[in-house]
Amino acid sequence: MDVLEAVRTKHAVRRFRDEPVPDDVMRKILDAGRRSQSSKNTQPWQFVVIRDRERLKALAQTGNFTDHMLLAAFAVVLVGERNTEPINFDLGQAAAYMQLAAWGLGVGSCLFTMHRPDDAKQVLGIPPEQYVYTGLSFGYPVPNLPRNQGGRKKLDEVVRWETW
């Protein structure tokens, strides 16, 4: 898929078919995260992949809007070396790269927030000093679902030229 087409059409997918994502496709998605840019190229991340259904269920309990995780083929928790603004930005970049790569491969995704990050760390055995806040559900989208057309603000509403 052309990059602009992927950016234009990508949307949050919260309903997944009961169908595994092959390992090579999953690896391509993870690799897109690895290739993402980061502040001073520090690559301050680890990506924890979860496929086990019971673990996904336990992880879903650590956020408030995580139902989509229950039927995902797999989830990826984005882990930062610590909680700093650049690292949070970097994790967001890795998420976007993974989501766009997935979309280009026909795989849908949705972010989830772990509102109780300490619980999430416990579920996944992540050391306490590491930073956890968001993750991604991935899977093949259920086709033809009516979807919430959140839409986007118009370009003129969000762009200011030269000065505020």
Ligand X SMILES: Cc1cc2nc3c(=O)[nH]c(=O)nc-3n(C[C@H](O)[C@H](O)[C@H](O)COP(=O)(O)O)c2cc1C
Alpha-carbon distance 13 to 110, whole Å? 5
Binding site for ligand X (CB under 6 A): 11-12, 14, 63, 65, 68, 110-113, 134, 150
Q: Which of 142, 144, 106 is nearest to 17 (CA)?
A: 142
φ/ψ of 80, rounded to 5, equals -100, 150
The nearer residue to ligand X, 95 or 105, going by C-beta atoms, is 95
- Bridge partners, residue 111, by sequence: 136
Which pair of tokens denotes residue 39? 């502040």
Q: How far is the CB of 113 from ligand X (least distance, A)?
A: 4
The nearer residue to ligand X, 26 or 100, going by C-beta atoms, is 100
Q: How far is the CB of 151 from ligand X (least distance, A)?
A: 7
Are the C-beta atoms of 121 and 130 separated by less than 8 Å? yes
Q: How far is the CB of 81 from ligand X (least distance, A)?
A: 19
The nearer residue to ligand X, 22 or 64, going by C-beta atoms, is 64
Q: How far is the CB of 71 from ligand X (least distance, A)?
A: 13
The nearer residue to ligand X, 36 or 134, going by C-beta atoms, is 134
Alpha-carbon distance 91 to 82, whole Å? 11
